Amino acid sequence: MGVYELVRSEDAAGPALDLEAGRCGPPPTAKASPAAPRQQRLVSLDVFRGITVLLMIIVDDAGSFLPAMNHSPWEGVTIADFVMPFFLFIVGVALALAYKRVPDKLDATRKATLRALKLFCVGLVLQGGFFHGVRSLTFGVDITQIRLMGILQRIAIAYLVTALCQIWLKGDDDVDSGLDLIKRYRYQLLAGLLITITYMVLLYGTYVPDWEYRISGPGSTEKTFTVKCGVRGDSGPGCNAVGMIDRKILGIQHLYGRPVYARSQQCSIDSPQNGPLPPDAPSWCQAPFDPEGLLSSVMAIVTCLIGLQYGHIIVHFQVKCLLSIW
């Protein structure tokens, strides 16, 4: 996804669009060459990607001592919480440019699937616990405890679904206005709407029963905690449908062991930093919870689809710009 072929629309011909300069204009004088046409970069997307990477680095380095640069313990939002949506948005825009023309849908599907699998496997290696105990005899992979989901895994899932939508759910309607743009990509918009409705139904309609978990205590002893729920539509850390679905499908032993809500006021006397448990801490404070779990990754797909629609605007703006200078 590094280079995007920014070409004129199939129905348009004439002066080229200077996307790098951000304006319409006549093509620069160039000598004819038998070589393949140069593939341009969309500079605005590269700049936004660079800003997002810089923000990620700042969050990773400064988040531990600047609460405003750290992820919100649960409720609320901080600047750090925008990093993942920004990356997903970038993926969506890039897909609109990369799959502007799809001559062979089956081959494009195969390549997109393979790319997503590779990305998922890289995430599994980096965040699955493969590097624990590097300086001891415990080094290795504990398959029974490996973390299955993570940042790259979420991006891989969102990328694959969005790529399939771009490959298979794209109409052939001519685009002369904003309404035409909606008509051409109506099935993609419908897919995003259905995904959102499914997420909301599961989030607020799924019954969450009582559950328990175990953690290792001093002297290799295990302590068992019971979390009382028996509710629907709860959005708190202990009894939400997101965690329940991950525990049922992935298994609690495969979830992230250092949940972000451990820094909340209910679970840390040094909140918003990590600290000792308060005397009246809820039973779920030490329970595993994956911020990149299955149900939460469903809305990551929608974020990627939003980026895809912005990419469509960029692609078709090129056509409108070309027509305006004829």
Distance, in Å, from the CA atom of 263 to the CA atom of 51, rounded to the nearest integer, reads: 27
Strand partners, 213: 225
136 — pLDDT class (breaks 50, 70, 90): low
CA 207 vs. chain centroid, Å, equals 26
The b/e string for 119-156 (b: 16+ C-beta within 10 A; e otherwise) is: bbeebbeebbbeeeeeeeeeeeeeeeebbbbbbbbbbb
Which residue type does 115 have?
Answer: R
64 — pLDDT class (breaks 50, 70, 90): confident
pLDDT tens profile 196-227: 999 999 999 999 999 999 988 766 678 999 99
pLDDT tens profile 173-198: 888 888 999 999 999 999 999 999 99
What lies within 8 Å, CB to CB, of 224 at 6+ separation is 212, 213, 214
Q: Note the pLDDT of residue 129.
A: 74
Residue spans per domain, the chain = 43-325
Statement: residue 127 has pLDDT above 90: no
Q: Note the pLDDT of residue 272.
A: 86
Please state, in angstroms and as integers, the Cα–Cα distance from residue 33 to each residue in 3, 28, 30, 36, 37, following that order. 21, 14, 9, 8, 9
Q: Note the pLDDT of residue 17.
A: 45
Q: How many degrees, rounded to 5, is the angle at CA 298 between CA 161 and CA 141?
A: 85
pLDDT tens profile 29-47: 545 455 555 567 889 999 9
Distance, in Å, from the CA atom of 301 to the CA atom of 172, rounded to the nearest integer, reads: 24
- In terms of pLDDT, which residue wins out, 12 or 303? 303
> Model-level pTM?
0.85
pLDDT tens profile 144-167: 888 999 999 999 999 999 999 999
Closest listed residue to residue 247, CA positions, set 277, 284, 200:
284
- Residue 71, judged by CB atoms within 10 A of its CB (0-12, 13-18, 19+), counts as buried
Residue 102 φ/ψ region, left for φ over 0, alpha for ψ in the -120 to 50 degree band, beta for the rest: beta
Strand partners, 224: 214
Counting residues of the chain whose pLDDT is more than 70, the rounded percentage is 80
Statement: residue 2 has pLDDT above 90: no
